[in-house]
Structure 1
Amino acid sequence: MRYLSFLLLLVAFSTVFLTACTTGEEVEEIKEEDTDQGEKLLKPKELSDAFLNGNYEKVYSQTSKAFQKAVSLKQLQELGEEFNKDITTYTLQSELPYGNGSNQYVWIDDSGSKGMLAVFDVEDTIQGIQFIPLDMYPETDNIYTETVFDFPFQGKWFVLWGGTNNLINYHYAYENQRYAYDFLTMNENSTYEGDPTLNESYYAFGKEYLAPADGMVVKVENSVKDNTPVGRMNDKQPFGNYVILDHGNKEFSYLVHFKHQSIVVKEGDQVKKGDLLGLVGNSGHSSEPHIHFHVADSPDPMTSKSINITFDRKDKFIQGDFVE
């Protein structure tokens, strides 16, 4: 899936710990009889316990040959022992379809300061493992908007990025969009059907993009052309086409990546929750059609500070969840 290649480009891989990922072409199947003494393969959700308990040989035996070519058992063990210091538990945060039957899993430790990411293929072979220290901003994580928001869409959508650590939400590293969400439409673990180089092939493209709360339109951009999927993203105009809404209380919605010339509101308009703003597109810093939504304390994208969003529902959601 295209959005997952975008994911890997954005995750902060510059770390003193270990990353070794392989492509689908490098997958080496490991059958049950290939593991030490015929032991059963670890199931993906068992990896964190095996790793924390120091069962590095077991973990390593289940990695692909491409991984083993890049990383030795000794390296894995040394890095694991250092990383596991002072950790008592890992908690599974998210599970994300990775394409070709593979899945990505993310765990964080009990302090919230360390995270682990692993990719398992359809045969439960480990294609990549990443260990990373996590940014922590507890002083703002627990500050929420006074405005109560709905989702800026109808129907069922998938949370690609969302949460309060940088493994499940790459925005978290950036103060001006720390509590942003990216939403996709997905069907049978795919975000498109047909030609992946056409925006029209993506389920999200052209869907209605709605006002998440009452407010006044304070900024609009509607002239940025949509990117070609699997092509270059527009880094010169990262928001692409967008609408910024003023909800009062120094709370401003940023709704980003609209379809070219689809926005139907203008600056100064008053909108109600659920009103049509435009259509979902693929403009700006976007690899495929999706919705980007965050709230900040000013309409200036460069100097504003993101605020955690109060949604009109009790259930929490993060990367890997479906919402509607």
Structure 2
Amino acid sequence: MEASQNTLTPEELPTALLEGQHKEIYARFSLTLKEAISEEDLTATAEGFIEGIESLALSTTLFHNGTEQRTWLSNTGNKGMMAIFDPEGVILGIQVLELASSPETDAKLTKVEYALPFEGDWLVYWGGTNVFENYHYEYESQRYAYDFIQAKDNYSYTGDPLKNESYYAFGKKIFAPADGTVVSVVNEIADNEPVGVMNPKQPAGNVVVIDHGGEYSYLAHLKQGSAAVKAGDQVKQGDFIGLTGNSGNSSEPHLHFQVSDGADLFAAKAINILWEGKLKPVQGETVTPIAP
């Protein structure tokens, strides 16, 4: 069924793309997106993208601060589409890609089983095994990293969005995900404020790194001065580590968590995480720790 020019919905976008309804899709672009992409560019890109594929299946949906982000994967598994919509279904951003994959490392899980390192419900902002679900995926050092935020009614803050204290995740307790030895702690980096101003020179911000017997967990972007451990400390799963912050290369208060094969974030390789309870969190899902 052909979508109406002015009522194309997020659900209808993949079919419209496959059926060549470029004019209808373009009509749903925001003015800003139209300034960046012409209808001719859309048509040329779309026609090349759909070659060899028959369908696009919804993979993830993420609601965040007034936007809805959806990702779809092709039936061939090697192509994907991402689009961001406003509440009226206007397309704010769109991207199609051939997706690189690393099946060998995807299948190699950590030897240690890790617990979610927080309390309560958290939203997976980035997490998964392709770049649309997890922008870290293209970087070997962070391929299986997660970014977690907290949200209520699809918003991660209430009040002034420029203040860290407005964000539900800011200042929440973070815990050791497994038994181990603390190998390094950074604790003195200021939290970014106003929110949205980032610190790329100190990308991890305040971070605690724990050795779990040759596997190293990273709990990053912690609140300045909140670290409750020091290098050399022995920790048990569930021990208090620090508070969620907005330090480093962080666009809003959140926890960056990953496990790697070494203690240097950028020299080591990330390992796909074996989560407690066999969880497999992906973008847009809400996760809650298993009660002890």
Matching residue's letter, 1:266: K
- 1:78 pairs, out of 44, 49, 71, with 44
* Alignment counterpart, residue 152 of structure 2, candidates 183, 187, 201: 187
One-letter code of the match for 2:20? G
SS in 1 for 2:26: helix
For the residues of structure 2 that align with 1:286 and 1:213, how far apart are their CA atoms? 25
1:234 aligns with 2:199: yes
2:171 corresponds in structure 1 to: 206
TM-score (norm 2): 0.91
Is 1:140 matched up with 2:87?
A: no
What is the one-letter code of the residue matched to 1:58? E
38 and 118 in structure 1: CA distance in 2 versus 1, 3 angstrom threshold = closer
From 278, 283, 288, the counterpart of 1:314? 278
Say what the alpha-carbon RMSD is for the aligned residues.
2.0
Note the alpha carbon deviations across 1:38-97, whole angstroms, 9 max, x for none: 678232122112212323333234334554455444432222111111112212122122
Give the aligned partner of residue 54 of structure 2: 88
CA contact (8 A) 1:233 1:284 kept: yes
Aligned to 2:260: 296
Q: Following superposition of structure 1 onto structure 2, how do residues 39-188 of structure 1 map, counting pairs within 5 Å?
A: 41-68=7-34, 70-100=36-66, 102-188=67-153
1:5-34 CA deviation, whole Å, 9 max, x = no partner?
xxxxxxxxxxxxxxxxxxxxxxxxxxxxxx
Contact 2:164 2:195 in 1 (8 A): no
Identity over aligned pairs, percent: 49
Q: Tell me the alpha carbon deviations over residues 296-319 of structure 1, each in whole angstroms, 9 at most, x when there is no partner.
A: 001122310000000012342211
What letter matches 2:62 in structure 1?
Answer: L
Aligned to 1:24: none
Q: Which moved more, 1:64-73 or 1:230-239?
A: 64-73
Could you report, residue by residue, the CA deviation over 1:177-207 in whole angstroms, capped at 9, with x for unpaired residues? 1100000011111111122222111111111
Note if contact 1:93-1:107 (Cα within 8 Å) is conserved in structure 2: yes
Cα distance 1:218–1:71, how it changes in 2: closer, same or farther (>3 A)?
closer
Deviates more, 1:50-59 or 1:170-179: 50-59
Conserved in 2, the CA contact under 8 Å of 1:229 and 1:288?
no
Q: Is the 8 A contact 1:205 1:289 kept in 2?
A: yes
**Cα–Cα, structure 1 residues 245 and 104, in superposed 2: closer, same or farther, change >3 Å?**
same
Report the alpha carbon displacement of residue 150 of structure 1 after superposing the two structures with TM. Answer: 0.6
Amino acid at match of 2:53: I
Counterpart CA distance in 2 for 1:199 and 1:37 is: 42
Contact between 1:229 and 1:287, CA under 8 Å: does it hold in 2? no
Residue identity opposite 1:282 in structure 2: N
Q: Distance in 1 between matches of 2:137 and 2:147?
A: 12
Q: Which runs of 5+ in 2 are unaligned?
A: none
1:279 aligns with 2:243: yes
CA distance in 2, matches of 1:284, 1:64: 32
Q: Which amino acid aligns with 1:199?
A: N
Measure, in 2, the Cα distance between the counterparts of 1:118 and 1:59: 11
SS at match of 2:141: helix
Distance 2:267 2:198 in 1: 23
Q: Is the 8 A contact 2:142 2:269 kept in 1?
A: yes
Contact 1:112-1:136 within 8 A present in 2 as well: no
